[in-house]
């Protein structure tokens, strides 16, 4: 036995893990879609949704966001345990926390990135969707990101950092 052949079994677990990670990334549409904000289709879907809700009041944007998440949650769960309502609520909390973690520090706003679509918002949406094991497909992530972005834009930075739940959005 040479050294190479001895080292092969040692490398197997890391290879398996890498393969599993790749498989996970392929099967997790939220992550894969979030990783492509520069994609023309992603940008088009994002812009269309953002323009559509531009005229809505902030509370109605939250309602649109809830309807959209309900639709995604109704496709079922990879774990299938939590009720839709809990998953929608869970998504909202995770999204708000993600946005506040990225845009606030110690309850105070910090400079927000100007890029649109904002990677910060997209990452927050993708993380919230993954946390609730939502099966995002197609236009889900760009449209949810647009709604979340509109929500952020409709609030003053101080107000956004002070929010405890999306129910408080007015």
Would you tell me which residues interact with another protein (CB under 8 A)? Answer: 52-56, 59-60, 63-64, 66-68, 70-71, 74, 76-77, 80, 83-85
Please give, one letter per residue, the 3-state secondary structure of 96-150: HHHHHHHHEECCEECCCCCCCCCHHHHHHHHHHHHHCCECCCCCHHHHHHHHHHH
Min separation Cβ 52 and another protein, Å: 5
Distance CA 166, CA 170 (A): 9
Q: Which is nearer to another protein, 35 or 52 (CB)?
A: 52
Q: Which is nearer to another protein, 1 or 79 (CB)?
A: 79
Min separation Cβ 43 and another protein, Å: 20
Min separation Cβ 155 and another protein, Å: 18
**CA angle 115-87-158, nearest 5°?**
40
The conformation of residue 77, written as its DSSP 8-state character, comes to B
Q: Which is nearer to another protein, 52 or 163 (CB)?
A: 52
């Amino acid at each position: 036995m040479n050294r190479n052949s001895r080292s092969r079994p040692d490398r197997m677990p890391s290879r398996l893990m890498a393969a599993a990670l790749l498989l996970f990334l392929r099967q997790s549409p939220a992550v894969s879609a979030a990783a492509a904000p520069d994609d023309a289709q992603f940008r088009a879907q994002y812009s269309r949704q953002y323009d559509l809700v531009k005229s809505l009041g902030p509370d109605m944007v939250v309602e649109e966001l809830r309807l959209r998440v309900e639709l995604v949650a109704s496709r079922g769960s990879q774990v299938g345990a939590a009720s839709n309502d809990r998953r929608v609520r869970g998504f909202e909390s995770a999204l708000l926390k993600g946005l506040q973690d990225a845009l606030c520090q110690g309850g105070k706003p910090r400079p927000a990135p100007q890029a649109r679509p904002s990677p910060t918002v997209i990452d927050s949406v993708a993380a919230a969707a993954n946390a609730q094991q939502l099966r995002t497909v197609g236009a889900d992530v760009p449209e949810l990101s647009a709604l979340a972005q509109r929500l952020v834009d409709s609030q003053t930075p101080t107000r956004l950092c002070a929010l405890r739940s999306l129910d408080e959005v007015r």
